Structure 1
Amino acid sequence: MIARLKTRQGIVEAGPGCPTRVMALIGMNSDVERESQVTKIHHLTALPQHPDVIADLSQLRTGNELLWPRVIRDTPCVAATLPIYSVRTTHGRVDATELLDRAVEQIEGGVGLITIHPTPCLNLHTLSLSRTIPCTSRGGNIVATDLASRGWRGENIYMRILRDLLPVAKRYRSVISIGASYRSGTIFDSFDQVQQTEIRMQIDLARLIVSEGVDVIIESPGHARPADIRRVAIPLRTSGFPIMPLGPIPTEASVGQDHISAAIGATLLGLEGCAHILAAVTREEHTGGIPTLTSTLEAVAAAQVAARIIDLDRNGDDSLDREIALRRSADRTCVLGQEEAGCSRCGSTCPLQHYPRRSGPDSLALPLVQDQ
């Protein structure tokens, strides 16, 4: 199944058989941070290979304050949002009308992807209490706290507004992403009963949403050791829905280097056929710091390398790799874009200088050294 994500310029498709997409994350908690986040938007867009999606994770209230209108207006990227971040809470409670209004405002404003958190319930909450870290989802926790303030009675707030939200999403062709509210926060909680139950709920909800004519994406899984990445891939892959992995981060011991860890985890999940939009995790993921411009661009670059490897394996797309290999062969140097043979690293011992120059589309099929 394919999700069709709208931009100001057209449609970006994501899902099985499509190129693996990359999503950059920006956001602010106060207006003081606005200039730095707008700068991020400009730099992300100026990249030779810009991200396909830019998600606004700002925790401010109105559309005029948020960043997603700039993403729509000033970039060719899909704008993504989490409506729960832009509503007020009073004693832990969320007003359903305000949440629906914020979601509708964003959809009508041109947002191509909105994340909802429809899975929190008393059963998942109770199961999660035996975990190392019960819940690490900011949006999911807001929804769960609202439900707890109501004595865990009735449906969670997203399920209460879903019937009104889906017709609007269908009319404006916005894609719904089903958030992983109980994604695993450590590798010791991965693919436990909580996560397995939530994944089944996500798949059931995805079927419901698609039956209403709205494209859908499933988010999963969070932290997961390599063996659990393979295990969690089975229900996600067989669901047939596009998957947006959050990480997965396959080790707890990569603090300060989580952009690398997440890229490795995403690659592992992608090779299992379950990574269609990669969220670019920054090195600040577990340091408590605000991602800088440099680390945001670094995270996107790492995610793009992961996407490249996934597409090599899953889609057989080696066109860029072949072009680079042919250029290196023709120039007789490992340095891409250098016209003379050799480099300062190897000097006169460079082995490529001693091979005959190759050119043409079939040169990779020829032996490097021919019999004399």
Structure 2
Amino acid sequence: MTELQADKLVTQMDYARAGQITPQMKEVAEREHREPEYIRERVADGRIAIPANIVHIKKGMRAFGVGEGLSTKVNVNLGISGDKADAAEEWKKVKIAEDLGADAIMDLSNSGKTRKFRQQLIDETPLMVGTVPMYDAIGYMEKPLVKLTKDDLLATVRAHAEDGVDFVTIHAGINRSVIKTFKETGRLMNIVSRGGSLLFGWMEVTGSENPFYEFYDEVLDICHEYDVTISLGDSCRPGCLYDANDATETAEIIELGKLAVRAWKRGVQVMIEGPGHMAIDEIAANMKMEKRLCHNAPFYVLGPLVTDIGVGYDHITAAIGGAISASAGADFLCYVTPSEHLCLPDAQDVRDGLIATKIAAHAADIAKKVPHARDEDDRMGQARRKLDWEEMWKHALDPERARDRYESSPAATEGTCTMCGKMCAVRTVNKVFEGTTIDLGMDDE
């Protein structure tokens, strides 16, 4: 390779296609128990993305792989809201995300000047950082929605890229053709994506094409310059079970598949965003359809929520859908908290939502036979067999919660818990194998 050719290599995809294994590919390979060549090959053809902005790499970020054959990744949403602008509370959420093993944080700040929070987040967290520039454009440009121009939107994308954002949600799939389908076929919940609804409103008022679609190549130029992975937003994801897998959602997925190919041709990494709300029996087929139409690009899903009436418990409805979707091919789960549809989540909501989503991701990894996915479960089984509580905490997803619950209700019989006490099945069998006589009607110590 000549020096001139080497100078053209910027993105992980560029290097992979040139046959070069980057330090980030090596890091992902080691963490995922895969050979570096396995990672390189799939980054080259888009089946794996390594969202790692060159600016964030210099600040010491960890490299995470998202895609085929890798562990299911989990994202935490947070950010400053116009109704509740409390940066200190958001930093508590960042700490929870880091401590409990999230892989990514999406800064969805949408009020005022958000750049300071975003820059500090990128400076301080080693996790992948994602954003939605459309949310930020109105405050960043200090203009009402309908006055935004394509140059304003591109300038916002560039600001996020320059700051070091690793992946950006770009709602490029909601073009005039998709809107025509939406209007002709109708929906129960219409458009529930915040970014998608803003662009729909802009397009309806101005009569113009979606700027992210019309000037997509310019977006790709920015993303390539900093190696920002483009996460193609699902503007028309179903917001209720009734709208799942309808004509509008399908029309947009077709467009996202085309946009993915265009990005790959420019050396830009891609993820595809997905549903939404969806009945359990429809999830696997949706995952397969998305993978087919989007050429096996990594799939990033919100849930999906498997019922619409679990309000206040939607971290559970989403975890059910997340486990099914990931076992059927989804690669990246966006967490959902108990506050979904209700209010901005507090720190405890974030904790509950993250743990529920990590359970879903881990359960799916076991089903997908991800290398070594079950190791911790087997170690937990061994610790439980020995009634070794300290060892159990080491293998729990949330050791603090597990220990607190156990210690809050002390058992009379040492080594057991208050569920079974002296009648603990594990204790009984252990004593039999030890040759100890068991008499549960009296003290057998």
Q: Same fold (TM over 0.5)?
A: yes
Superimposed CA distance per residue, residues 37-82 of structure 1 (whole angstroms, 9 cap, x where no aligned partner)? 122223322x1x32111101111354534x3222211111111100
Instruction: Give the % identical residues.
Output: 25
**TM-score, L = length of structure 1:** 0.88
Match of 2:187 in 1: 131
Higher helix share: 2
Match of 1:264 in 2: 320
Match of 2:429 in 1: 355
Match of 1:10 in 2: 62
Counterpart Cα distance in 1 of 2:389 and 2:428: 11
Counterpart Cα distance in 1 of 2:156 and 2:182: 29
Note the residue ranges of structure 2 that are not aligned, 5 or more in a row: 1-46, 394-405, 407-412, 436-445
What SS does the corresponding residue of 2:85 show, helix, strand or coil?
helix
Superimposed CA distance per residue, residues 265-303 of structure 1 (whole angstroms, 9 cap, x where no aligned partner)? 1111111112x111111111122x121110011101111
Counterpart Cα distance in 2 of 1:104 and 1:332: 53
Q: CA RMSD in A?
A: 2.5
What SS does the corresponding residue of 1:87 show, helix, strand or coil?
helix
Residue 57 (structure 1) aligned to one of 90, 104, 108:
108
User: Which residues of 2 match residues 185-264 of structure 1 at below 5 A?
Assistant: 185-238=239-292, 239-264=295-320
Counterpart Cα distance in 2 of 1:258 and 1:87: 29
Residue 118 (structure 2) aligned to one of 45, 52, 68:
68
User: How far did 1:180 drift?
Assistant: 0.3
How many residues are matched? 354
Superimposed CA distance per residue, residues 186-217 of structure 1 (whole angstroms, 9 cap, x where no aligned partner)? 10010011111111111111111111101100
- Larger deviation, residues 179-188 vs 90-99: 90-99
1:39–1:342 Cα change, 3 Å = closer
Counterpart Cα distance in 1 of 2:291 and 2:216: 25
- Larger deviation, residues 344-353 vs 50-59: 344-353
Amino acid in the other structure paired with 2:376:
L
Counterpart Cα distance in 2 of 1:204 and 1:101: 24
Amino acid in the other structure paired with 2:276:
G
Counterpart Cα distance in 2 of 1:368 and 1:296: 45
What SS does the corresponding residue of 1:342 show, helix, strand or coil?
coil
Match of 1:364 in 2: none
What SS does the corresponding residue of 2:169 show, helix, strand or coil?
strand
Counterpart Cα distance in 2 of 1:10 and 1:119: 30
Counterpart Cα distance in 2 of 1:341 and 1:35: 41
What SS does the corresponding residue of 2:323 show, helix, strand or coil?
helix
- Larger deviation, residues 82-91 vs 18-27: 82-91
Counterpart Cα distance in 2 of 1:91 and 1:196: 27
User: How far did 1:228 drift?
Assistant: 1.9
What SS does the corresponding residue of 2:241 show, helix, strand or coil?
coil
Higher-Rg member (1/2)? 2
1:16–1:100 Cα change, 3 Å = same
User: How far did 1:110 drift?
Assistant: 0.8
Match of 1:361 in 2: none
Match of 2:89 in 1: 36
